[in-house]
Amino acid sequence: MELRHLALESCFIHPPTVFKGFDCLTVLELNHVESSDEFFRNLISNCQLLEPLALEQPYCLNLVEIESPTLRSFVYAGLVHEVHLKKVPLLAKVSVTFSCSPTGVHALAKFFESIPALEHFRWCIEVPRRLSFALNCLKHLHINLVYLDELPELQGAVCFIRSSPYSQDIEIQVYQRFQPDEYLKLLDPVTRDYVDEIPASFSDVTLNHLKAVKLEGIAGTRPEMQLIQLLLAKSPALARMKIDPYYGLEDKKSLKVVAEITNFQRASSKAEVVYNVD
């Protein structure tokens, strides 16, 4: 009988030296599986019929290499220094959560070079300020747990937005560095006078296909407000922007944020901005 679906959880594997993978495997799910880098490399690279691949690894790996011409979905969560994707022409859905960031912008660029069909993308690590190429097939972008305290962090969040000119929906979850009590003492949502015009470095951003935006954890900091301003000003097809405020934000400050957003210029006359005051 030829093995086609393999799911392993919470185990240690020490395969024989002759192990080369499973030729007929189409689905692979590994959750908390401990083994060597060589095992993962042999297992994945020799499964040439894989379509979905899901890896959740708390054990730090130096390098994960994936070469699969049939792969369509890739989910990774855990500790790793680098992930290399090779010859994955059909890969359309990627969700990556690194606890150890890839080593620099060059590694990140290499990550995308072999994903020409990428349509759905979820990312949860630090990003560079710019990519040297466009993700023209990307339609659904989700950036998770991004800091937006300072302008350089805003530039990082805009990196993927700028590189995805055909995105139809964008979801960004903002992470606040401080504990609620500590943060509320420091937080004072910005006023209109404090929010500059859209930074000149974002002048090349085009979002002509963007229809829906969801922002979570918004506290009204200057970079957050600039991001909202940018998305509204650059999205002529935008139909809906939903904003969930930071859960520790006082009602009075939430209303202050809403008042400022209301005054932002919108490229789309039909754009509806929904601020969840609950």
Give me the residue spans of the domains in the chain. Answer: 119-275
pLDDT at 107: 57
> For residue 122, how many C-alpha atoms fall within 13 Å in the half-sphere facing its CB?
14
pLDDT at 278: 64
* CB contact set of 97 (below 8 Å; sequence gap of 6+): 76, 77, 78, 124, 125, 144
3-state secondary structure at position 77: strand
- Chain-centroid distance, C-alpha 208: 20
- Give which of 138, 161, 156 is closest to 146, Cα–Cα: 156
Q: Output the pTM of the full model.
A: 0.72
pLDDT by position in tens, the chain (length 278): 588 999 999 888 888 877 777 888 899 998 988 887 778 877 877 788 899 999 887 666 667 778 888 999 998 887 766 677 788 889 999 887 765 444 444 555 567 777 888 888 887 655 566 677 788 889 999 888 777 766 666 777 788 888 889 999 999 988 776 554 444 444 454 444 445 566 677 788 889 999 999 999 888 888 889 899 999 999 999 999 999 988 877 777 888 888 889 989 999 999 999 998 76
Q: Phi-psi bin for 93: left (phi > 0), alpha (psi -120 to 50), beta?
A: beta
Q: Is the domain 119-275 a CATH 3.80.10 member? A: yes
